[in-house]
Amino acid sequence: MLLRLPVVAARRMFIILVLMVIVGCFYIYSSENKYYPCFIEGQILATQQAIITDGETNLLEDVLQADPKPSPGNSIFFHETSCRLSDNRQLETLRVTARQACAIESAAMHNPSFQVFVLFAGPTYRISNNNSHPQPLVEAILSYSNVHLRRLNIETYASGTPMEEWLKDGRLSRSKYLFSHISDFLRYLTLYRYGGLYLDMDVVVLRNMEKVPPNYTGAESNTHLAAGVMNLAATGFGHEIAASCLRDFQHNFNGKDWGNNGPGVITRVAQKICGTKDIALMQEDPKRCMGFKVFGRGAFYAVPWKQWRDFFEPEKLEETIARCKDSYVVHVWNKHSSKLPIKQGSKNAYAMYAEQNCPRSYKAAGEHF
């Protein structure tokens, strides 16, 4: 007598087989960039695990399906786009760095009426192993009731948006700067989907931003705006700006240019809105930009990237604090500063900002932050 699988089990096996075929196709299609299949396989592993465990709460849920969902225009978004797939092809335990945790906590602490969503694009979807506790830094950020950790599937996240067909042509998967350009892609797509406030993971939020009128970004230099802090309304003019950003991203995408698809996009769109390439004029004449606000460098980028060490040097403490006294956010330029550790109790600007604005993460970090 033939053994008959229960209907539910048979369905699960069928779905897993289909997913395995899909990932094989993506490996062939994306062979020019060895890292892109990591995102696809990670998504499939997460889906398989969710099917097998039948909704185990230990796994991160998909942002498009889980509740609560982002509140349009009233949410803060971070994206984690590194991709580290374990050798045994198992879902890794969720980990964040101390500085990522600080960014998330500072946003949640200073903006209690906003929901903070951290969206993971890579295959890191298990909050903890079996019955063990999450990483202390993860516990620190989850101690805030307005923080929500979610996964996203790049393909389904783009589905139903202007980026759905563009994504299929493979230009993103062949990018020389894959992780950065996926981050660029997702920040504009998220603002199109939900509006709200996008923040880079290497910031510290210093004060409440809930009452700042929507539709703004900040200047990084005399020639470019930056894409590390952007806010767009979910409807109306803000949604039109987000749509313009997606069109620009598609039309001008360059996988060989690191900054073209991030700060380049918002700079070009703002130039069209404001009718000028003069960044100073964008700031001086608000009517010119029809309600789109361009903050001066002091708001989000008071310390330029070339001077990133000022955050870490004790002799620069007072000067840096004075420079950032009117800032909403400080940006610590992780691309350059990530390898420079801070010992607990250090007398520098970054340590001081962390201790005051992300105290739980700072404490959970241990000896070095």
Q: pLDDT value at position 74?
A: 96
Q: What b/e readout covers 166-200, taking b as 16+ CB neighbours within 10 angstroms?
A: bbeeeebbbbebbebbbbbbbbbbbbbbbbbbbbb
368 within a domain of the structure (yes/no): no
The reported pLDDT for the residue numbered 319 is 98
Between 59 and 72, the more confident residue is 72
* DSSP letter for each residue of 138-180: HHHHHTSTTEEEEE--HHHHHTTSTTHHHHHTSTTTT-TTHHH
| Whether residue 57 has pLDDT greater than 90 | no
| Total-model pTM | 0.87
CA distance 264 to 279: 13
pLDDT at 1: 42
Supply the pLDDT for residue 273: 97
* Contact (Cβ atoms closer than 8 angstroms) between residue 58 and residue 45: no
For residue range 319-350, what is the model confidence (pLDDT) as tens digits? 999 999 999 999 999 989 988 989 988 999 99
Strands, E assignment, 255-304: 293-295
For residue 91, give both structure tokens.
């879902």
Q: Does 12 reside within a domain? A: no
At residue 28, the pLDDT reads 38
- 296 falls within a domain: yes
How many folded domains does the chain comprise? 1
Question: In whole angstroms, what is the distance from residue 124 CA to residue 51 CA?
Answer: 17
If you average pLDDT over every residue of the chain, what do you get?
Answer: 87
User: Rounded to an integer, what is the distance from CA 272 to the centroid of its chain?
Assistant: 26
Percent of the chain surpassing pLDDT 70: 81
Residue 19 lies in a domain: no
Segment 6-19 shows an average pLDDT of: 54
Model confidence pLDDT, tens digit, residues 138-182: 999 999 999 999 999 999 999 999 999 999 999 998 999 998 999
**What CATH number has the domain bearing residue 141?**
3.90.550
Token pair of 110, please? Answer: 């200073």
Range of the domain at 101: 48-306
Task: For residue 347, tell me if it sits in a domain.
Answer: no
Q: What integer is the mean pLDDT of 349-361?
A: 97
Residue 324, both tokens: 């950032």
Inside any domain, residue 123: yes
The confidence band for 22, taking pLDDT boundaries of 50, 70 and 90, is very low
Q: How many residues does the chain have?
A: 369
183 belongs to a structural domain: yes
Range of weakest confidence among 20-24, 181-185, 286-290, 351-355: 20-24
Inside any domain, residue 27: no
